[in-house]
Structure 1
Amino acid sequence: MSTTTPPPPANPHGNVAPPPAPAPSNDVTLTIDGQSVTVPKGTNVLEAARTLGLDIPAFCYHPGLPIVAQCRQCLVSVEKNPKLQPSCQQVCGDGMVVHTTDKQSALARQQQLEFTLLNHPVDCPICDKAGECTLQKLYFEHDNADSRVDVPKVHKAKAVDLGPTVVLDQERCILCSRCIRTCDLVSGQHQLDFANRGDHEILTTAPGEQLDNPYSLNTVDVCPVGALTAKDFRFTMRAWELEATPSVCNGCATGCNIEIHHKHGRAWRLVPRHNAKVNDY
């Protein structure tokens, strides 16, 4: 016996009801440097580029912190947009076309890097962050050129005692605010702040505060340069001489993931290890 499919129900006016609208997509597709990528809505261009293996340089951006877009090191070109955009803050749109290696973007990032280095001591050989410093990496990748400025650098305080665990070198600080946001967001205590303006702006403790919250050493981990150092590790061992072993912190029952950095059977420092299900960053 043959069967026939009944016609769709008619509305009161006798017209056939239209098919249901497709569910809205939660993804957007864009093109970055000629490569197509599909990401969830709300993803920024910098993270979308990373899924393609494209590393857009940045100082102030950290995936676990609020976005401030203040270092301007991640500028990119977006077609139909007259100005360069910070890729950490630019949300991906469907059909968007982004260029990260075009002449305009590359020149802007190189000029911003030169500006960041203007008063930086560039003392990599004696800096504790040498070998794992974002500024050092970008400096060598871009041009490794001497400064074109022949006036004396602005000098700031060295070895500033911020609290029981952390020391600050104000000359190395690039004012990215990662440490400030870490204290505000992770510990919920506003213990660090900026003071002064222009090339005399410095990182310092907030009025009446010292850096003594339980997560204070996380500021050392998020610092992209050698401005913040841990008292128990500074000047003890070069980063590239250490081996890393994944482990779990035994400080409490949370089970935060860490890496043990060790050499010759001795542990020299513990650093956070990303685990979104336990301790995030």
Structure 2
Amino acid sequence: MSPLRSFAPDVRGRVGGALFARVAGPAGKENRARIHDTPGPRWFEADSPVRTVHGDASMFIGGLRALLLQSLHPLAMAAVAAHSGYRGDPWGRLQRTSTFLATTTYGTADDAQAAVDRVRAVHERVRGQTASGETYHAADPHLLGWVHAAEVDSFLVAHQRYGAEPLDEAGGDAYVAGTARVARALGVVDPPRDRQELTAVLTAYRPELRPTSQAREAARFILRHPPLPLVARPPYAVLAANAVVTLPAWARTALGVRPPALLPEGSVEPAGRLLTRTIRWAMPPAPPLTDSVANAG
């Protein structure tokens, strides 16, 4: 084997390992083995659109977009600012979120329900007041409905623009319907079941949304001051820029965000597609479940 051919797998392994460790945390390998290798029925079949979307590198962009969009609900943002530790432990929060998504998407039905139960217990304890005196409770079904709708919309928008295999119309509706299963388990009442209902839900929340100082501070932290080494900041800036350009214009205006000036006009989306392809190359998906693992129990 030539030195160049042997060098490529080594680079792939190093880059993919570093990304996986950052996203999944120190227990990532053990969690991945448990999630994928434990026998038993799953909430989602191997060919489910939920698995297609959640297993793609476009989630890096969709996740950032979701955080920005969710922050525009003042009660959701107040809860995050007071209880999530996103400034003091942003990577811990990311790792907990990615483990939850992986467990509900790929894990056994029992493990998925246990993950939901843990989140619901946390939500039950998260209560407080905004600076203006409005009360919030993270277990409020209405507030959970906004968080869910903004997340599903963000993941789907990012996948359709940057995913390896964008969904057709029926697949998009099936994705929304699939995520409704997790939403109901978390306490959302009547979550959207197709893209038309998702659009209607997002529209219905618009009168409640506004850019608080906490939301704008969070956007600055997410987009411009991530706790990353210098070498990782240029690719992160590309992800952040694409999260911004996929937001609705009203949300960009409300948060006062725009792509960084270092990316010339017209190059943001091509750079995003190139970067997501690179991440996809560096982080190949987990092997598909065998019938014996998926159906055991």
Higher share of residues assigned strand = 1
| TM-score normalised by L of structure 2 | 0.29
Which structure has more relative contact order (CA 8 Å, sep 6+)? It is: 2
Larger Rg: 1
Higher share of residues assigned helix = 2
| TM-score normalised by L of structure 1 | 0.30
